[in-house]
Amino acid sequence: MKVLLVDDEKFAIEGLRNMLNWSGFEGELIGTASNGQEALLIAENEKPDVIISDIKMPIMDGLTLAKRIYEQSSNIDIILLSAHGEFEYAQQAIQYKVTNYILKPITREKINRLDQLLLQLKHKRHSHKQDFLHIWDHQFKDKILSGLRHTDLSVFDELFSSVLFTTPTSHETYNTIGIQLINFLYEYMSEIHINKEILNVSRQKSLAHYLDLPNQQEKANYLISKYYDILSNLKSQKHSNADTIIVFANSYILEHFSEADFNISFLADKVNVSLSYLSTLFKQSMGINLSTYIINLRLAKAKELLQNLEYSICDIGVQCGYEDSRYFAKLFKKKVGLTPSEYRNLHIQNNAIQ
């Protein structure tokens, strides 16, 4: 657990440095500052978990420091030290969600109390991290995957408003989740055949930018914007892919629909998509069921061939993809309202009248 000490009195800093049981709460001193302004700069770069700060300091006091940390939506725990016990200090400290407020002078008893408090904070952070990672594993992944598949923006909004913006967690845990999420989004894009080299470069840039952001609010906003960007790309990709699939599928149908071994499963294999996806896409694009479209093409060709007396009805069925003449005749009757023979005779009669 990373700790920043802030006091304008050097001996107070040295006292805390030497007397705290750092190993007991697995603490690491990441820096010291003589006022709140210095502390903010260090906090921005070093991302401490805990700041132990005096209240009365020049340039920026401890309460102002606590306020600034609070306004940044940071999850840094702040412990304030003061020689003053005035109620107004304690009141303001509560307002800025200060973790604890300890009166000087710092005795051995108060150091022991600080050690216990820091140990509790360590356990709390570990528990929050495990809870947060559990939420990610059991809620985030499935819901985000569903959102990606259905290009649904509301899924991500719901998750972030209910979890990322409201669940207190450490900077380290936020980074862990953010890295997992960014990798997860790019892995999904990679699976749907978007250029992998370009994706890898974009992924590295996204990760570097995310880790450079100074606070959780900005990190959360970046993750939301990244999700929106990727979703927008997926929508464009889907429309582009859909158009390509339909053009290829229709071209293949027109060339091969009259072949006896041609069917929609074979067509789906040719365009390298699932049959259900192809059927849905075709209906959305063409406004007609795929099987019906193929049948209509075959029967239109059959009508044309029936006008030529050189072909038997059996031959015409074969030329339209139906080797079973009885099935062909039955289907023709069902769709046209006449048997092939009746349709041919009607055509002959009409020609004779003309």
Report domain 2-106's class: alpha beta
- The 10s digit of each residue's pLDDT in 323-352 is 999 999 999 999 999 999 999 988 887 766
> What pLDDT does 244 receive?
79
Q: Evaluate if residue 203 carries a pLDDT over 90.
A: no
Start-to-end CA distance of the chain, whole Å, equals 97
> What pLDDT does 161 receive?
54
Between 160 and 68, whose confidence is greater?
A: 68
- The 10s digit of each residue's pLDDT in 205-222 is 888 888 888 777 777 778
> What pLDDT does 204 receive?
86
Between 193 and 24, whose confidence is greater?
A: 24
Structure confidence at residue 131 as a pLDDT band (50, 70, 90): low
Which tokens hold the place of 258?
């009259």
Q: CA 133, CA 73: separation in Å to the nearest integer?
A: 20
Residue-range domain boundaries for the chain: 2-106, 128-238, 257-353
- The 10s digit of each residue's pLDDT in 164-185 is 545 555 666 677 777 877 877 7
> What pLDDT does 125 receive?
74
Question: CB-hemisphere CA count at 13 Å for 36?
Answer: 18
Structure confidence at residue 246 as a pLDDT band (50, 70, 90): confident
- The 10s digit of each residue's pLDDT in 89-116 is 666 677 777 888 888 888 899 999 899 9
CA 241, 244, 250, 256 torsion: positive or negative?
Answer: negative
Question: CB-hemisphere CA count at 13 Å for 241?
Answer: 15
Q: Evaluate if residue 31 carries a pLDDT over 90.
A: yes
Task: Give the range with max mean pLDDT: 64-68, 142-146, 157-161.
Answer: 64-68
In the predicted model, what is the mean pLDDT of the chain?
81
Q: Evaluate if residue 321 carries a pLDDT over 80.
A: yes
> What pLDDT does 339 receive?
94
**Are residues 320 and 299 in contact, defined by beta-carbon separation less than 8 angstroms?**
yes
Q: Examine domains 2-106 and 257-353 and report if their fold is the same.
A: no
Question: Percent of the chain, pLDDT > 70?
Answer: 77
Q: Evaluate if residue 87 carries a pLDDT over 80.
A: no
Q: Evaluate if residue 58 carries a pLDDT over 90.
A: yes
Q: CA 237, CA 289: separation in Å to the nearest integer?
A: 24
Q: CA 314, CA 319: separation in Å to the nearest integer?
A: 9
What is the second-level CATH architecture of the domain 257-353? Answer: Orthogonal Bundle (1.10)
